[in-house]
């Protein structure tokens, strides 16, 4: 029941990908297991079915070229395809936790549709249409008149600080 190595590896994945709980790691492991089981069944199938299966996974963003590559997939490969990880890899978010917050606050759109779930798997087509709807305030340009007013306001404060220091 208690496997220290497994718990440590899950904790590392949680920190690395900014996951909410172990359940997300388990879900990734489960879905990769399903994909691998399908690949095992397709080993004896025709070349055409194998190519269709590999092409389907390639379109989903997995880096596979054959059934052998599909069998070598692991849970980290699935975690890299989540919208949360895509935002970080594209540079739209600094950290996985920031990406998760942007998604849950509905600031991320794919193909014009708001995405509210960080676990959304993005395909290669969708990856190009990811955009943030977060409106950042523009930097205000301060005029010379405003600068002089600010300087006048700072001078009395500086004089008070000098008097307190004496």
- Our count of domains for the chain comes to 2
Q: Cβ distance 132 to 99 under 8 Å? A: no
pLDDT(42) > 80: yes
Residue closest to 108 by CA, chosen among 76, 125, 85: 85
Contacts of 86-89 spanning 24+ positions with Cβ under 8 A? 86/122, 86/127, 86/130, 87/130
* Confidence band for 158, pLDDT divided at 50, 70 and 90: low
Statement: the pTM of the whole predicted model exceeds 0.75: no
Considering the domain architecture, whether residues 101 and 75 belong to the same structural domain is answered as: no
| pLDDT value for 161 | 67
| pLDDT value for 38 | 94
Domain range for residue 128? 83-135
Which pair of structure tokens corresponds to residue 158? 């500086």
121 part of a folded domain: yes
Which pair of structure tokens corresponds to residue 21? 């709980």
Dist CA 127 CA 123 (whole Å): 6
112 part of a folded domain: yes
Q: Cβ distance 74 to 28 under 8 Å? A: no
pLDDT digits (tens, 9 = 90+) for 56-91: 999 998 999 999 999 999 999 999 999 999 999 999
| pLDDT value for 151 | 85
113 part of a folded domain: yes
Dist CA 129 CA 109 (whole Å): 8
Residue that the structure tokens 């959304």 belong to = 120
């Amino acid at each position: 029941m208690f496997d220290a190595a497994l718990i440590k590896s899950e904790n590392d994945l949680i920190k690395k990908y900014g996951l909410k709980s172990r359940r997300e790691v388990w879900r990734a492991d489960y879905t990769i297991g399903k994909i691998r089981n399908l690949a095992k069944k397709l080993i004896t199938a025709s070349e055409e079915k194998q190519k269709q299966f590999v092409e389907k996974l390639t379109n989903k963003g997995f880096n596979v070229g054959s059934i052998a590559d599909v069998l070598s997939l692991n849970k980290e490969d699935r975690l890299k395809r989540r919208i949360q990880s895509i935002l970080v890899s594209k540079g739209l978010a600094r950290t996985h936790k920031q990406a998760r917050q942007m998604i849950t606050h509905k600031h991320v759109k794919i193909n014009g549709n708001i995405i509210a779930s960080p676990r959304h798997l993005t395909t290669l087509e969708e990856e190009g249409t990811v955009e943030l709807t977060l409106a950042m305030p523009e930097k205000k340009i301060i005029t010379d008149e405003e600068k002089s007013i600010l300087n006048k306001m700072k001078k009395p404060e500086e004089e008070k600080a000098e008097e307190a220091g004496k």
